[in-house]
Amino acid sequence: MMNFVNQIWDFEMLGGMFRLCLPFAEKISRPILVYGFLVVALRIFGKRELAQLNPFDLIVLLMLSNTVQNAIIGNDISVTGGIIGAVTLLATNYFVVRFVLKYEVNLEAELEILSLHEKLDELREWKWKELIQMEQEQMELLIQLVKERDAQVPE
């Protein structure tokens, strides 16, 4: 029976599946570098959100993932290497979305708020000028009414 199990399962093969062929630090740095390159490249070519992708963009994205696969895993085809690469990509994406994009959105919101404040300041200044002009017209009318009343009053 044990002979049958040894024929079906090659235990050396199982050990080789999890043995790293590249140093651990290289396994972590490769996905981070590729991730950074892809983020910059996709930003340069103008695709910010997945909703903006058309079918051709999706095809390019899938082909791009296949192209950079070897850059991420290198010569290491072990399961452990694949898991390290995947976890590194997910962790990098988590930190970028959590910290970098959060501040980008806040910066855009701050710029919008600043623009609204400028518009409100312009509106207030315009309203003040209009109010002062109305007061001057009222004062001129009052002066004219006082003169007319003084002219009508007999002495």
* Cβ neighbours for 38, distance < 8 A, ≥ 6 positions apart: 64, 68
Please compute the mean of the pLDDT values over residues 69-81 and round it to a whole number: 72
pLDDT at 135 over 80: yes
The answer to whether 61 and 53 have CB atoms below 8 angstroms apart is yes
Distance (Å, whole) CA 31 – CA 28: 6
Which residue type does 115 have?
S
Residue 155 DSSP one-character state? -
Share of the chain above pLDDT 70, in %: 69
Q: What is the pLDDT of residue 14?
A: 59
User: By mean pLDDT, which of 11-15, 62-66, 71-75, 125-129 is the weakest?
Assistant: 11-15
DSSP secondary structure letters along 72-122: HHTT---HHHHHHHHHHHHHHHHHIIIIIHHHHHHHHHHHHHHHHHHHHHH
* Cβ neighbours for 77, distance < 8 A, ≥ 6 positions apart: 21
Residue 17: pLDDT band with limits 50, 70, 90:
low
Tokens 């600043």 -> residue: 114
pLDDT tens digit string along 79-131?
777 777 778 878 887 887 777 766 666 667 778 888 888 888 888 888 888 88
The helix/strand/coil state of 57 is helix
pLDDT at 3 over 70: no
Taking alpha carbons only, the member of 122, 48, 98 closest to residue 114 is 122
* Cβ neighbours for 52, distance < 8 A, ≥ 6 positions apart: none
User: By mean pLDDT, which of 45-49, 93-97, 131-135 is the weakest?
Assistant: 45-49
Taking alpha carbons only, the member of 50, 51, 45 closest to residue 93 is 50
Residue 140: pLDDT band with limits 50, 70, 90:
very high
